[in-house]
Structure 1
């Protein structure tokens, strides 16, 4: 069990805010941290890792990582941390990057096998692709069999195919090692595929907490689907109006009425939903 009750004043580009999080996480859970940029997600990960200080309490199982009298340094916390930028040792081989953390060749060989990196064990990072580097970073994070694995949008720079592959590998390692995992992500499909619980932050506070299905599926009544997107363009085609909307990494076209076309403007964050076979588009 991880018990988090921390506070920290943050100074953002827009305004100052108080990061105030009080939550309990069961051992072995996979938690997705979601929310807009600047809501405090990465800072919370850094506090859990011991890279930043805060006031309050942090208990992991029977150990105190933080309270008014104690601050456990990062090197003593049983964590693995995977960043967006890999942070590998460029002068070391793939295998040596892992063994630098823990001199356990059997474990290193196993991790390289699971992530299909065995044949690249003697290569140096600058000869690897982005997806391969991220797999090395993941393996390195698992070398201490961490109680807590922290993932800060580790797959955001990868293409869809590679993201899906690494998501599967992350889930495999999470289950095999029984690690409690906390991941920052803005990708709904990634959150739905990996997480058992979603915690949404806004201005440093938890505003939503539940299962991926409860948090991400926003249909109601007789709606068949509901998606958020950005309105990119409204164009007139013959006698009808067509809205071009960006939803995730895809563009969709929706026929709208003349009244809807007049009420919407480019850049609007919109909700696209349908009842039966009649899609509707509503601006927030």
Structure 2
């Protein structure tokens, strides 16, 4: 269990604001932090990591990380942090970057295998693509088997195909290591695919907290429309099939027939159109 009750004065987009967050996060949850830029999401991650000061209390499994008397250093906090800019050691190979954190070569080899980096283990970072560098950063963050994994928009600079691939790898490792993961993201499809809980910040305050479907799902009216989107999920509700689709920055629900499902695959690009009240979904 992660208990957070902190405050910190910040300079927000519209002037001074007070980051004031009180949260309880269960072991093994995958939490997405969402909200406008400048609302305090990254600062909250950095406070959890011990990279920024704050007032209040943070405890993990009843161990005090922060209170009036204690403020554990980052290396004592059992966290893994994946930054947007990779932060790799440029003079070390892929494998050396991992072993610098922990000399457990068996673990390093396993992580490289899961993320399909084994054949690149002797390469230097400047010879890697952006997606490959981000996979190395992810592997390195897990080398100490952290209790909490912090992800600060780690996939924002990648193309859609690579983002989807790394999302799957992140979810695989999250489940395998049973880590509590906290991720900053602005991408609704990424949040829906990865997280079990979404926390929305606005001007330093929690304004919404719930499941991805509760927080993100938006419905449209009966006007005619035609949109391109990505099929995220198909769920069964009683006898009805419901497709969850990412369209722009929104998620929508569309009822689909058993016949339509036969031609649909999770993750594929689709077109959603309607005349009057009956949407038509085509791959």
Aligned partner of 2:174 in structure 1 is 174
Aligned partner of 1:242 in structure 2 is none
TM-score (norm 2): 0.79
Cα 1:39–1:249 shift into 2, 3 Å:
closer
Aligned partner of 1:213 in structure 2 is 213
Aligned pairs for 1:48-127 within 5 A: 48-127=48-127
- 2:17 is paired with a residue of what secondary structure? strand
Q: Distance in 2 between matches of 1:217 and 1:154?
A: 23
Which one is further off, 9-18 or 133-142?
9-18
Aligned partner of 2:21 in structure 1 is 21
Cα 1:66–1:123 shift into 2, 3 Å:
same
Aligned pairs for 1:226-237 within 5 A: none
Q: Distance in 2 between matches of 1:212 and 1:105?
A: 37
Q: Distance in 1 between matches of 2:70 and 2:274?
A: 54
Aligned partner of 2:183 in structure 1 is 183
1:276 Cα deviation from its structure 2 partner? 4.3
RMSD: 2.3
Structure 1 residues without counterparts, runs of 5 or longer: 228-246, 251-272, 280-284
Q: Distance in 1 between matches of 2:192 and 2:207?
A: 18
Query: Rg bigger for which structure?
Result: 1
1:11 Cα deviation from its structure 2 partner? 1.6
Aligned partner of 2:231 in structure 1 is none
Which one is further off, 160-169 or 8-17?
8-17
Q: Distance in 1 between matches of 2:185 and 2:224?
A: 25
Aligned partner of 1:12 in structure 2 is 12
TM-score (norm 1): 0.79
Aligned partner of 1:32 in structure 2 is 32
1:62 Cα deviation from its structure 2 partner? 2.0
1:221 Cα deviation from its structure 2 partner? 8.4
1:219 Cα deviation from its structure 2 partner? 2.3
Q: Distance in 2 between matches of 1:224 and 1:35?
A: 30
Cα 1:248–1:177 shift into 2, 3 Å:
same
1:224 Cα deviation from its structure 2 partner? 11
1:81 Cα deviation from its structure 2 partner? 0.1
- 2:51 is paired with a residue of what secondary structure? coil
Q: Distance in 1 between matches of 2:82 and 2:27?
A: 19
Structure 2 residues without counterparts, runs of 5 or longer: 228-246, 251-272
- 1:154 is paired with a residue of what secondary structure? coil
Q: Distance in 2 between matches of 1:15 and 1:115?
A: 42
Displacement over 2 Å in runs of 4+: 218-225, 247-250, 273-279
Cα 1:137–1:214 shift into 2, 3 Å:
same
Number of matched pairs: 237
Q: Distance in 2 between matches of 1:209 and 1:147?
A: 22
1:220 Cα deviation from its structure 2 partner? 7.5
- 1:39 is paired with a residue of what secondary structure? coil
